[in-house]
Each structure stands twice: as structure tokens, then as C-alpha cells.
Amino acid sequence: MLSNHLKDYAEKKYGERLPYLKAAGCIPEEELWSCTPDEAVLIKFFYGTMPLRDAGEYEFGTFLSFVKHALWLRENKDWCAALPEDIFVNHVLYYRINSEDISENRSFFYEQIKNLLPEAGCGSDRLRETVLAINYWCAENAAYQASDMRTASPMTVYRSGKGRCGEESTFAVTAFRSAGIPARQVYTPRWAHCDDNHAWVEVWLNGKWYFLGACEPEEILNKGWFSHASSRALLVHSRNFSDFTGEMAEECIGKEGVTYFYNNTSTYARTKKLTVTVRDREGKPAKGAEVSFEILNMAEYCSVATLRTDEKGEVSLTMGLGDIHIRAMLDGWFGEALVSAADQDRAEILLDTDIAGMDWLTDIWTPEEVKAPEDYPVNPGTVTSEQKQKKREKLAAANRLREERIQAFYNEEKAEKYPEEKELLQLAAGNFEELYRFLEKDANPDRKALLHSLSQKDYKDAKAEVLEDALIYAGQVRGTWEEDTYRNYLLCPRIYYEELTPYRAFIRGYFTDEQKEGFIKDPESIWRYIEQNIGYEPEFDYETICASPVGCLKLRQGNPLSRKILFAAICRTLGIPARLNRVTQEAEYLGSDGFRVPGKQQEAESEKAAGRKAGLTLQAEDGGKWIYFQTWTIGKLEGMRFATLDYEGLRFDGKECRLELEAGIYRLITTARMPNGNQHASQRIFAVKEGEEKEIFVSLREGSIEDMLVRNEIPEFEVTNSAGERQKTGDILKGADGVICFLEEGAEPTEHVLNELMERAGDWNAMTDSGVRLVFIVRDKEALSNKTVSRTLEKIPAVTVVYDPEGESAEPVARRMYVDPEKLPLLAVTRAGMTGIYASSGYNVGSVDLMLKILSLQENR
């Protein structure tokens, strides 16, 4: 069944890994003897291409379950049998999709969806219908919910019924692969037009990839709410964990560890091949220079692709037609530039700056205008009214079934025994019994304390054995620590965003009594042990995931983040409070003078002698505008790149904000993003010395009203008028300028907007007299009984009120106008009918006045 080409590839890759597998005792030689020849090839394919940490984390039988299921599909499903071999092994067989925890799940998913699969010999249209049906099944079992960066497994998403986009897409890909339908996660690491990213799914049908929104079903393929957003992407990519490719190989845009990235941008956006030439100080081509392509998003330059220059000093990247920041580095020298792919297809960067020098630290603000790609209908994907109605009905049924299934997990009678834990038990969904079993074991009050130390996502998949391991061994080393210190830095099993595992019993048994005593006396020796005994092979790493403390010790391998987590795990096991610093992500243990970074004892003593760390005070005219990861960030130079510090949630105290920093070189970035996606940005690079108190004034470069305007065609949608008839919004606007207001009566943001409308009632009446249409869209006629709504209608009588009983019309309008679809009220200013020129969601002070100015500007043109 398998080609000699694949067999040779698997043997070669497996042979390259054998030394590391043998050293870790993870070599599956005995198990391979019991496999069929084809099973053995695919197992070797796994062990030869997987992130090395996976070999130390999961049992052989887990990988074998994926192999057996994939081979069964290849033998029994004709659509799977007909696949090219590279598509089969990378996108049906492969066990890992993203950074999810791995478990035997393919057979489970297959059993859930097998009734949706066609009979043998089905045509392409029937298989296409199957793909759409499976996505409805996905929606029936999972819906979007924002959460932290840890990727929950497909089984966790199924049991909880919730997941963010990366989890929904991993869940959907698992479902498709379990049916023998090739699927992959497609990802824009950062949008260019807004501060976010997104992941979705592609499926392989009839020799071609088609896209769909994960757990967001449509009646056709190549359709999703993100269709317009993706047309503005600078980069869209997919990943493989092997370079086993066939005749239709895609553009590879780099390799990081075991992960190969493939460029899919041309499917979604207008693109150009940008060629960058890097030259050294003498003007000669710089071979082997590292070139990082960076998108300004969340007020930081995020690297989305890294390539090495060839003999000509060149790299090329197919990318969207917007601005991208490029940083080139080689042998301690660097150069950078903001490049516009819309205006040029070639760029040149000179390595003219010595990273070790100080003359490039000008300590002044440097402004940058960063343009996002323009909206363009690459994948218009129109659907009929009948298809829209069919989707509404099927999605409503899917939502109802999902909520009923998830609610059934919650046992009110059991939860009543733990009133303070009722909320987390409800969040647990399908993990309810696991948490309840942990709580019920005995009356130890630390059981409750431990649960409350976890993240919300942990409630969905934390295992009782993991929690028990933490409880038992933390209790043995409790000492006299204060309650908060004990709960957060000794008892809690979570250190960062790693998978929770029962590491304490293993660590206690792994080290000798003599070693443990030495560690307790000198926590610095734990870090020295890790540096001496835990290796790191970057080429076998997948940096998005980290090894568990147990896996790290078994393999004697771990990436930098894994080592830090291991340090904290050993410390907590032995009764030394430890953590990862939220801002710097450095491992720290609690010493006599506070938390300290291991390996930096001499630096700490030097800082103590100097009196204190460096201090940076930011001064602003209006501290309320400064939102971290939105309007500003600060990064510290680490090696050749700036690493953004995590001050999420930090707020200015009035007009100032003080940061305590280590001595070093820093970069401040400020940015004001306009509604059209462009940014008025500035950056400032400077040094701070030990004990120095530095002050910097920060300001945002505000845009003009013209900067606020866009021209996005809003898709036609229907509402119900006062006579109970369905009416198109275009017919209501009648080709005039207008403002469409989606309201949530009684909610505070809507109340604010309505009050602002009434304050300027005279101006709005003048606008409506001149032909501007003001439309209120509410759920039903009950909204009219709200006092603020009724008073507004009295003061501005020309308002047209219509109804959206399903509450489904606001989201597509918000998506089309690139504002938050989760927040009402949604206000959209339209030009000559359904051309959106400005929108806002939620309550923004002055938004009503701004809309009046925009409408006045339109009238005067």
C-alpha cells in the first residue's frame, strides 16, 4: 500500500532520531516487531518527524492508534484510497495539528460522524455535501469562546462545547481527518488591518484545497465571515511536520524546528512576490543573513516569517499588498526598513548597524505610517436567500443541541454541596465529575484552594490524579508560608500555559535524597543542574509547545521555556515557592529578598549595590488612551531581536505610568490604528542603566476625519418592518446617506448612545430633513417600551424602526466594517445606500458627534 519513496523517507528520518530516542529510552523497537510492515513504516514516519518532546510525553500505543485508523480508512474508504500519498500522510494520518494535547481520538470522532459519510463510489458533489454536513456537526458540538493561549485538545473541546478559533479549527480538522478527508489548519499569525489573528480550516477535494470556517458552517465552500478580512492579510500559512511532498508542492516560507510553513496567501488576497536583497557594510551580498518579516499588530512588530538569504543575498516572499517591517541580521550587524508590497516588488537592506554599539540608540521618536492592504473581493462566495434561511434553521438546531448536551453535565444537586465552587463546576462542563471526585475525596480545605488557583480553561480538562499529586506533595512542604504564596507558588500545579501533568511524585523519586537536600539549601543549584543535564536540539523542536517536567527529565531535552517550567516544578515539589514572571517570562524562586531569577545572582547583588533597578516613567496628556497591546508596548533587546514584555492589563495612574526594568536596551512602540486599518506609529529605542530613573513623554498621532473613512460594501440583509413584512435594508435607505444603529435597549452602552443622540436632536433632525436616513434595528416591538428609546423617538421623529428577531444581522455588518461583532450598539454610517464609510461598536465617547461630522463632510462634497 505504501510507496518505496515513503518507506525510504521514513527510515531516513527515523535513523536521524535514533540517537536521541535511545538516550531517552524512548526507542520503540520491541513494539515495532508486533506491527505490520505498513504500520511500522508509518510509526517510523511519526517518530522521525514529530517534535522530539512528543516521544517523551506519549505512549507508543497512542501513535499506533492514529496509524491503525488511517490505514483502515485507506483500505476502506475510496475517497481516502485515491489520495496522493503526501496528502494522505500529512493531512489524514498525522496525529498533531497544532499545539494541542494528544490523545487517542480518531476512532471516537469517526463513530460520531460515520452516519454522515457517503457510500462507496460517491461523486465529488456528494463528498462536498459531506464536508458541509461534518462542519454542521462541529457547530453542534463546539462554539467560539475566547480563552488563554493554551490549545485545548479536540476531546476537551468536545466535552466543554467551547473553544477559541485555534481550538475550533483543531477540532474540525480532527473530525475531517477521522473520516479520511484531508484537512489542515490555516492561519494568519497576525492580521494587518486589526489587532488580532485567526485560524480556520482547508479541506482537500478533487485535487484542490477549499476553505471553511471551523464550527462556523455555511451552505457552500470557500465562504466564511473572514473572507473579506483575509483579503487584507499580509500572510496566510499552513504547517506540516514533514517535508514529504508530492508534485503539487506549495511555496515553503521557512522551517522552524520540525515545522515547515507553506504560503497560502494567494488563495485569499491579492499578492506580490517581494524580493529583499541584504548587503553587508561594503555593499556585497550578505549570504546566510536572517531576514525577519514583521507585522505591526497589537502595538508590537510580530515576526511572521523568517528566511535565510541565498548566494545573491536575496530572499523572496509572496505577500499581501500592504506595509511590512523587515529586519535583517548577520554576525552581530543588522538593518531594518518598512517596505510597501503595494508599491514595490524589490527592497534592499544594508547591514550597517552594530548591535553591540551604542551610537544607534538615538533616544528620539521615529514616526512610521503603516498601511494595511485594501479590502478586495477575492472570494466573494455569494449565497441565496434560501441558503441563508436553511443555514439559520440548521444552526439554531445545532446551537440548541449543543447547549442541551453541555448543560446535562452539570449536576445541581452535587454542586449545592460546594456553593463557592458552583461557578467553576459549571465551567467544567464535561469535566464536572472529575473535579467533583477530587473535591469529594476528603475534607482537606486545600482542595478548594487548589481549584481556585487554576485558570478557567483548566476546569475543562484538569484530571483528578494531577490535582491529587499537587495536593499531596504541596501539603508535605507547606511550611510557614503566607496563604497567597503557598496557594499560588507551591500548591498550584500550573506554572505557565503548559499541559497539566502529575510531576511531583516523579520528581521526588527521580532525584536522590542528597540531590534534593542540596537543591533546598541552594535553589541556584537546580538551575545549574538543568543547564548541565537538559539538552536542547532546536531542529527537533516545535517551539509553540513545551515539554512537561516529567517529559523533560525523561528525554533530558527541553526548549528554553520547558527548562524554566522544569525549574519551577522542581522548586515547588521541594517546598521552594517559584513562578514564571508574567512580564518577562523568566523563571524565579522566592529568596530572602523577594523573587529572584536563577543564574543571575551576581547581577542581583550588583543591582542591590546600586540601590535599585532602573525606573522608567511614561508621561502622557491623557493616560486613559494608553492600553497595552493596543496603543503601546515596550520590548527588551534579547540577542538580535526585541522581546515584548507582557504588561497586559497595566493602566496609567492619571497621566503617568512607572515601570521597574532591568538595565538594558529597550524599544517603545506607540500606534493609533485608523478604521481603514492603517496605523500612525512611532518607535523610540533607548538604553537604561542600573539605578537610573528615566522619563519619556508619550503621545498618539491622531488621524483626520478622512483617515476614519472606508468604502466597504455592506451585504444586503433583511429586517422586519412595522407592518410585519420582510424588507431589505437597501430599500429602507433608498440610496441615501444614512446611519444604521443596532441597539440593545436597557444596556448601558446603548443608553449612552441614545442620550448623545438626544443631546444633538436638533442637528439630527436637520440631517433627516436633508434626506439622511436614521435607522434603529432592535430585536422586537418590546424595545419601544424602553423609556430612553421612546424619548429618543419623540425627539427625532424621522427615525425608522425595524426589527431583527433572530439577532443575526449585526455580526455580518460588524465583520464587513472591521469592528467588534460582540459589542452593541453597532453604529454604521453609510454612503448612497449600502456603502459603509464608518462604524463603531460598543460605546465610544463622542461617536455620535463624529458621525455628524462625517455626514456633514459628505454633504459638503
Where do we find the cell 510492515? Answer: 37
CA distances to 25, 31, 33 from 28, in Å: 9, 5, 9
Tell me the per-residue pLDDT of 660-716, one tens digit each, with 9 for 90 and over.
999 999 999 999 998 889 999 999 999 999 999 999 999 998 778 888 889 999 988
pLDDT at 609 over 50: no
Q: pLDDT grade, residue 27 (50/70/90)?
A: confident
Tell me the per-residue pLDDT of 517-567, one tens digit each, with 9 for 90 and over.
999 999 999 999 999 999 999 999 998 999 999 999 999 999 999 999 999
CB 6, CB 38: distance < 8 Å: no
CA distance linking residue 197 with residue 234, whole number of Å: 11
Query: If you ran DSSP here, which 8-state letter would residue 490 be given?
Result: I
Q: For 336-394, give the DSSP string.
A: EEEEETTT-SEEEEE--EETT-STT---S-EEEEEPPPPP--SS-----HHHHHHHHHH
One domain, residues 712 and 855:
yes
CA distance linking residue 460 with residue 462, whole number of Å: 6
CB 255, CB 207: distance < 8 Å: no
One domain, residues 510 and 568:
yes
CA distances to 177, 637, 752, 777 from 183, in Å: 6, 39, 46, 39
- Per the structure, the complete domain to which residue 537 belongs is given by 419-581
pLDDT at 602 over 60: no
CA distance linking residue 82 with residue 89, whole number of Å: 13
Residue 161 within a domain: yes
One domain, residues 611 and 508:
no
- Nearest CA-CA partner of 698 in 657, 647, 664: 657
One domain, residues 497 and 573:
yes
Q: For 444-462, give the DSSP string.
A: -THHHHHHHTS-TTHHHH-
Greater confidence (829 vs 358) lies with 829
Half-sphere exposure of 108 (CA within 13 A, CB side): 10
Q: Which of 655, 670, 701 is the last residue of a domain?
A: 701
CB 721, CB 824: distance < 8 Å: no
CB 374, CB 321: distance < 8 Å: yes
One domain, residues 452 and 398:
no
One domain, residues 544 and 644:
no
* 3-class secondary-structure state, position 794: helix
Tell me the per-residue pLDDT of 461-509, one tens digit each, with 9 for 90 and over.
999 999 999 999 999 999 899 999 999 999 999 999 999 999 999 999 9
Helix (H) or strand (E) holding 732: helix 729-733
- Nearest CA-CA partner of 155 in 494, 455, 456, 430: 430
Bridge-based pairing state of the strands 826-831 and 835-841:
antiparallel
**Residue 432 grid coordinates:** 464536572
- Nearest CA-CA partner of 778 in 808, 751, 745: 745
pLDDT at 607 over 60: no
Q: For 50-117, give the DSSP string.
A: S-HHHHHHS-HHHHHHHHHHHHHHHHH-HHHHTS-HHHHIIIII-S-SSSPPP-S-HHHHHHHHGGGS
One domain, residues 9 and 92:
yes
Bridge-based pairing state of the strands 773-778 and 578-580:
unpaired
* 3-class secondary-structure state, position 485: helix
Q: What is the reported pLDDT for 610?
A: 43
Residues 6 or more apart whose CB falls under 8 angstroms from that of 85 comprise 2, 3, 5, 6, 246
Residue 184 within a domain: yes
Q: pLDDT grade, residue 859 (50/70/90)?
A: low
Residue 242 within a domain: no
Q: What is the reported pLDDT for 861?
A: 57
Residue 393 within a domain: yes
Within 10 A of 676 (CB to CB), how many other CB atoms are there? 22
Where do we find the cell 478580512? Answer: 229
Tell me the per-residue pLDDT of 810-829, one tens digit each, with 9 for 90 and over.
999 999 999 988 889 999 99
One domain, residues 631 and 660:
yes
Residue 253 within a domain: no
Residue 723 within a domain: yes
Does residue 825 have a cis bond before it (omega within 30 degrees)?
Answer: yes
- Nearest CA-CA partner of 298 in 371, 194, 199, 368: 194
Residue 364 within a domain: yes
The fraction of the chain above a pLDDT of 70, given in percent, is 98
CA distances to 53, 126, 834 from 3, in Å: 28, 29, 56
Q: What is the reported pLDDT for 642?
A: 96
Bridge-based pairing state of the strands 738-742 and 773-778:
parallel
Across all residues in the chain, what is the average pLDDT? 93
Q: For 816-833, give the DSSP string.
A: HHTS-TTSS-EEEEEETT
Where do we find the cell 545572582? Answer: 601
One domain, residues 347 and 300:
yes
- Nearest CA-CA partner of 812 in 223, 394, 222, 172: 223
- Exposed (0-12), middle (13-18) or buried (19+): which is 765, by Cβ within 10 Å? middle
- CATH number for the domain spanning 659: value is 2.60.40
One domain, residues 429 and 547:
yes
CB 165, CB 98: distance < 8 Å: no
**Residue 62 grid coordinates:** 497512542
- CATH number for the domain spanning 747: value is 3.40.30.10
Contacts 24+ apart (CB under 8 A), 818-824: 818/193, 818/194, 818/229, 818/675, 818/677, 818/710, 818/712, 819/675, 823/749, 824/742, 824/743, 824/744, 824/747, 824/749, 824/750
Tell me the per-residue pLDDT of 40-66, one tens digit each, with 9 for 90 and over.
999 999 999 999 999 999 999 999 999
Residue 243 within a domain: no
Q: How many domains, in total, are found in the chain?
A: 6
Bridge-based pairing state of the strands 346-350 and 323-330:
unpaired
One domain, residues 724 and 849:
yes
CA distance linking residue 56 with residue 27, whole number of Å: 10
Q: Which of 677, 701, 725 is the last residue of a domain?
A: 701
One domain, residues 33 and 50:
yes
CA distance linking residue 687 with residue 695, whole number of Å: 12
Q: Which of 37, 70, 96 is the last residue of a domain?
A: 96
CA distance linking residue 598 with residue 581, whole number of Å: 12
- Nearest CA-CA partner of 233 in 199, 201, 261, 259: 199
Q: What is the CA radius of gyration of the chain?
A: 29
- CATH number for the domain spanning 334: value is 2.60.40.1120
Tell me the per-residue pLDDT of 374-432, one tens digit each, with 9 for 90 and over.
999 899 888 888 998 899 899 999 999 999 999 999 999 999 999 999 999 999 999 99
- CATH number for the domain spanning 128: value is 3.10.620.30
